[in-house]
Amino acid sequence: MANYQWYPGHMTKAKRMMQENIKLIDLVIELVDARIPLSSRNPDIDELGKNKSRIILLNKSDLADARKNKIWMEYFTEKGFHVLEINAKTGAGIKSIQGAVQEACREKIARDRKRGILNRPVRAMVVGIPNVGKSTFINSFAGKACAKTGNKPGVTKGKQWIRLNKGLELLDTPGILWPKFEDQTVGLHLAMIGSMNDEIVHLDELACELIDFLRAQYPGLLEKRYEIEISEAQNAYDTIKFVCISKKCFLKGEELDIMKSSAMIVDDFRNGKIGKITLEMP
């Protein structure tokens, strides 16, 4: 299997900024991809965000397996997080976030009251690895109506806070973390959902990995999508050839266009056309 890696040079700078910003906030809202909730998390966030209220949003939950979404929600809830299923693009689940914020920050709000501080808004920061939908989420959650609050005393100049309502302000810059490639499956999963640059990924290898996974975990989906028969003995590469023939992916003459059909399989998975699929379990 290919070795998937990522080495952005600006990681340390982003992490340093995040450490500074996290001091200013009460709540960390973390986005993960519902199809790979662990591979799309960075374990550092638990260290960075300790002593803060925490919400995890399973984004793109409509592309994931609904039964497995429930299992992941239970898993994170047991670990002390507040968890919601959302789709930042369509806005699904966004309405429930306000309630979750109140719930997650109940103790902080109660502490403020005791000290006689009323209506101090909860300050939140959105974090996650690249391509998990942070900016889309901020735009969708904040909507177009919100006013950015200017520089306030005690707030470092240049930091923009988005006032969502009386009770909540959002730091405009999302916190960027990078995935930790502790084992190869993390890289593979990120490549499958398209969080890697497809130029560095061999799509035919990726399609083979995907086919092997789907045949084991979601039997019947490939047959249905591509109108093909798959025998027990057949390997993943043969399946790609069958898809070529079924979907008429040819180069010149009768030569099979393996790359075209590999790209089609990977895209169909990413867009949910093969089915609602979760790639990993707790």
pLDDT single digits (tens) 269-282: 999 999 999 999 99
Q: Could you tell me the pLDDT band of residue 35, with boundaries at 50, 70 and 90?
A: very high
Spell out the residues 6+ positions from residue 8 whose beta carbon is closer than 8 angstroms to its own: 178
- Say if CB 100 and CB 72 are below 8 A apart: no
- pLDDT band at 155, cuts 50/70/90? very low
Q: Let me know: does 149 contact 163? Beta carbons within 8 Å.
A: yes
pLDDT at 154 over 50: no
Pairing between β-strand 175-176 and β-strand 122-128 as defined by DSSP bridges = parallel
CA-based nearest residue to 61, from 95, 88, 82 = 88
68 CA to centre of own chain = 15
Q: Residues of the chain with pLDDT > 70: what percent?
A: 91
The pLDDT, as a whole number, for residue 86 is: 97
pLDDT class for 49, splitting at 50, 70, 90? very high
pTM of the model: 0.90
